[in-house]
Structure 1
Amino acid sequence: MIEMQDVWKEYPNGAKALNGINVHITKGEFVYVVGPSGAGKSTFIKLMYREERPTKGHIFVNGFNIERLKDRKVPLLRRSIGVVFQDFKLLPQLTAYENVAFALEVIGIPKRHIKRRVMDALDWVGLADKAEMLPSQMSGGEQQRIAIARALVNNPAVIIADEPTGNLDPDTSWEIMKLFQRINDRGTTIVMATHNKEIVNTMRKRVIAIEAGQIVRDEEKGLYGYDD
């Protein structure tokens, strides 16, 4: 499903983000990626959906060889991956429906198929009744649910989440995590970078800890392990 073999990432300014990462994530896993700020978590996440390229090493995601993937093939990779961000990244001028539909339009899904798929995704996150609302008319939790619907609408094999509860209050964070658990229960692989100690320690999934660009801990039913 996801495999990294001796992956290194160095930026043009000489900063080394990852140093010889090796990891294997199988279909249906739920994995937390934890570590101090600046440890390399976001780079680790971005490499999976080809937002970044590795300096050295091999990365395979859903059968795609990331470092050899031509730019014109990146949309094919991203059809099998949903990405959820801390700041939602919704288009403010578009309604909830239009934000989710946009994810299908950009990959060329015929219009006759879009409405049903969008409404199914909105229904899955409990917001079918908010389809015509703009992001500014919704709470932060609702906006994140719309972002999750957008990630889900293409029925991806993997959802990658980068601090998805970082801008939410504790109660809303738990609602979002319950939603991710439901998604995982249906067989979708989830890889989530997070600083939320309480959630990691309560839900007890696989934990990959990164420090100074290296994996220092990889545990089934792991704990967060940091004080921040």
Structure 2
Amino acid sequence: MIEMKDVYKTYSNGVSAIAGLSVTIHPGEFVYIVGPSGAGKSTFIKMIYRQEKPTKGKIVINSLNLADIKEKEIPFLRRKLGVVFQDFKLLPKLTVFENISFALEVIGEHPKVIRKKVLETLDLVQLKHKARQFPDQLSGGEQQRVSIARSIVNSPDIVIADEPTGNLDPDTSWEIMRTLEEVNNRGTTVVMATHNKEIVNTMKKRVIAIEDGLIVRDQARGEYGNYE
């Protein structure tokens, strides 16, 4: 579960990104985070995986208060979180298999277990046949599916997706959304920041709209709204 209570975030330059936000996201939900540019969506997302620390307030992920944890504890938090970025962030000199297996190697998983988990995850994102290729040999959509595979190979409780379709054409975007929906159907909570109106309005999920650092709308099976 993700719980934010009276959360504020003010950056060192004085910009207030989040201004007293409170929300609860339950296990297994699929939630869109929408709003105009500069509304605080990215800060909201980054605070969940502790890229940013709240200035004030409480953020609890599965009983762990992120405002209190030490820097050395952050890697342990992220073992239970998967993050998918708009620009993929794949390691260019590693193959598809190696990009995904790296997430397991850093936590000391056994090589036999790594191979099994990586192949199963590649099968889920329908890229097992690309296992030996490098990122620059893949299309943008394929790279994003590798990014999703990397984010879920360790069976995280929560997947955070920050504009995962932002650099993709419409057809490829739908492929990515079908993959994320399958991940969610397997029980993983998905929180996705997006500007894609068509996806939000077609794939009806919970919608949390943020404006000026505050939640202005929270709807089950909601719509995108009038944002650019």
TM-score, normalised via structure 1 length: 0.98
> Bigger CA drift: 61-70 or 155-164?
61-70
Q: Distance in 1 between matches of 2:107 and 2:68?
A: 21
**CA deviation string 1:70-100 (max 9, x = no partner):** 1111111111110000000001111000100
**CA deviation string 1:193-215 (max 9, x = no partner):** 00000000011110000011111
Residue aligning to 2:29: 29
Residue aligning to 1:136: 136
Q: Distance in 1 between matches of 2:28 and 2:197?
A: 22
Residue aligning to 1:96: 96
**CA deviation string 1:7-64 (max 9, x = no partner):** 0000001000000010000011000000011110000000001111000000001221
Residue aligning to 2:176: 176
TM-score, normalised via structure 2 length: 0.98
Residue aligning to 2:208: 208
Q: Could you list the runs of 5+ residues in structure 1 that have no partner in the other structure?
A: none
Map of 1:20-169 to 2, 5 A cutoff?
20-169=20-169
Q: Could you list the runs of 5+ residues in structure 2 that have no partner in the other structure?
A: none
**Partner SS, residue 45 of structure 2:** helix
8 Å CA contact 1:33, 1:41 repeated in 2:
yes
List, as ranges, runs of 4+ consecutive aligned residues in structure 1 with deviation greater than 4 Å. Answer: none
8 Å CA contact 1:84, 1:147 repeated in 2:
yes
8 Å CA contact 1:75, 1:107 repeated in 2:
no
Q: Distance in 1 between matches of 2:227 and 2:68?
A: 39
**CA deviation string 1:94-121 (max 9, x = no partner):** 1000100111112222333211111111
Whichever residue aligns with residue 158 of structure 1, its letter is I
Q: Distance in 1 between matches of 2:107 and 2:17?
A: 31
**Partner SS, residue 21 of structure 2:** strand
Q: Distance in 2 between matches of 1:113 and 1:33?
A: 35
Superposition CA RMSD, Å: 0.8
